[in-house]
Amino acid sequence: MNVILKIWRQPSKDTPGGFETYPVADVSPDMSFLEMLDVLNETLTQSGKEPIAFESDCREGICGTCGLFINGRAHGPGLGITTCELRMRRFKSGETIVVEPWRAKAFPVLKDLIVDRSSFDRIIQSGGYVSVNTGNALDGNTLPIAKTKADEAFDAATCIGCGACVATCKNASAMLFTAAKVSQLALLPQGEVEAQDRVINMVKTMELEGFGHCSNTGACEIECPKQISLTHIARLHREYLKATFK
């Protein structure tokens, strides 16, 4: 199959960018989207042109670094997948595919398709930890935790911090990401010590980083590659109210 890529190119964060068009021939339907970009970059390099800068690491849907906005959707067509898991069979031969970086004030473009997501790191640093000395690994039954709570905490912990929720939200809100991190610890006894400070500090940092307010459209849950539930945002609101009242 052959495709035409309309890709955002931007030399640096201080330089204006724009779209450039590249034809890519002989694309295997079994290729991942990133493998297809690798083929394009090899062609550009061989012709003496600057390759397209994009991020990737694990290429197994685990690390969250590969996020791209493809044809107006975070991570492209399909649900519950990251860009590196997206296969070219989801596109038609001859199709024009528009590829952009995440668009958010808190995610400034560094180069081409790479954005600075260190704002997520600062949210985590402000409260995503526990001071409980866990010591050696304990037997699984030493600290009783209801299975429903354990399952919910695990679901929240599957967030990989890719930023799709921010990219797809019309207000560029980081509520789903922040809620997942707050919820993950709020459900477990180990997280009780910092519970009040955690939610206040993380929400404050989120706002200082320039993320918008939650739009309540639910687009974040739909485009999240790990399908993090909106119920965690509801828990974030409850935890925040409890902390401010106390």
Global pTM? 0.92
- Domains plus CATH for the chain? 3-110 (3.10.20.30), 118-245 (1.10.1060.10)
pLDDT value of residue 168 = 96
For residues 192-204, average pLDDT:
94
For residues 95-108, average pLDDT:
97
Count CB-CB contacts under 10 A for residue 92.
10
Is 80 exceeded by the pLDDT of residue 224? yes
For residues 1-25, average pLDDT:
96
Q: What's the mean per-residue pLDDT of the chain? A: 94
The proportion of the chain whose per-residue pLDDT surpasses 90, expressed as a percent, equals: 87
Is 70 exceeded by the pLDDT of residue 134? no
User: What is d(CA 45, CA 16) in angstroms, rounded to the nearest whole number?
Assistant: 23
Query: 25: number of CA atoms within 13 Å, CB side?
Result: 1
pLDDT value of residue 142 = 74
Count CB-CB contacts under 10 A for residue 98.
14
